[in-house]
Amino acid sequence: LNEKALIEACKRMDRRAQKQLYDQFAPAMLGICRRYLRDLGAAEDALQEGFFKILTRLDSYTGEGSFAGWMRRVMVNECLMQLRQRNLLRFPETMPQISDEAQDNRILNQLSAVEILSLLDEMPPGYRAVFNLYVIEGFKHREIADLLDISINTSKSQLVLARQKMEMLLKTRLGIHNGEL
C-alpha cells in the first residue's frame, strides 16, 4: 500500500493497515519521544498515546504538508503534554548573557545522534524541550512560545541557557578548557 492508500485504510480502522503504519513510523517516532523524555518507558507511553491520537484523528490531516511531518507534530505535542502532566516543564525567568546567542550548531553537527541524545539526557526537561524544538525540530520562537505557553522572550532566553548548558557539558565531556571550544 502506498501512503495515501494506507491512510485511507487506516481511516476505515483496518487493523492490518494500522499495524503497517505503526511498523513503518514507530521507530522514528519513538526516537523523537526519547529526545524529549529521558525515561524510555515514558517515551513508549507517549508513543502509544501519540499513535492512538494519530489513528483516531486521521480526518484532521488535511493533506497539506507531509504526513510524516504531521505525525511528528502530534508526537511532539504528546511529549510536551506528558512533561506538563509531570510538572517537569518549568521556565524560570533568567536573563542569560547576550554573547552566547551567536553560537551556531557546527559543533552539534559533528556529533552523532547518540552523542547528542546523551547530552540532552543531562539537561533539565525545560532546556531540553526548547533546545529540541528550536535546534532539532526547527520551530520558530513564536511557535515554541505557543506550544509551551510561555513568552517569546522566555523561549529565547531558555534557548540561550540550554546552549550554555550544552556547551558546558561538551567541555566537561571532551576535557576542553574555556575558550578552546
Partner 1 sequence: MSTETNLQSKIFEIQPAERVWQKLEQQLEAHEKQNRVLPLRHKWRWAAAAACLLALAAAWFNSYTDEKPGFSSGLYAPPKNLEELPLSAEGSHCGVCCLSLRMRHTLPEYYQQPRQKNT
Residues that bind partner 1 (CB under 8 A): 13, 15, 18-19, 22, 26-28, 30-32, 34-35, 40, 43-44, 47-48, 51-52, 55-56, 104-106, 108-109, 111-114, 116-117, 135-138
Q: How far is the CB of 30 from partner 1 (least distance, A)?
A: 4
> Which CB sits closer to partner 1, 93 or 121?
121
C-alpha cell at 53: 491520537
C-alpha cell at 62: 488535511
Q: How far is the CB of 78 from partner 1 (least distance, A)?
A: 13
Q: How far is the CB of 28 from partner 1 (least distance, A)?
A: 5
- Find out whether 72 and 54 touch, Cβ atoms under 8 Å: no
Q: How far is the CB of 55 from partner 1 (least distance, A)?
A: 6
Number of Cβ atoms within 10 Å of the Cβ of 148: 20
d(Cα 159, Cα 150) in Å, to the nearest integer?
A: 13
> Which CB sits closer to partner 1, 15 or 173?
15
Q: What number of helices (H) and strands (E) belong to the chain? A: 9, 0
Would you call 5 helix, strand, or coil by DSSP?
A: helix
Cβ-Cβ contacts under 8 Å for 95 (sequence gap 6 or more): 157
> Which CB sits closer to partner 1, 102 or 114?
114
> Which CB sits closer to partner 1, 18 or 154?
18
Q: What is the dihedral of CA 33, 66, 17, 2, to 10 degrees?
A: -140
Q: Name the maximum alpha-carbon separation found in the chain.
A: 59
> Which CB sits closer to partner 1, 56 or 153?
56
Q: How far is the CB of 18 from partner 1 (least distance, A)?
A: 7
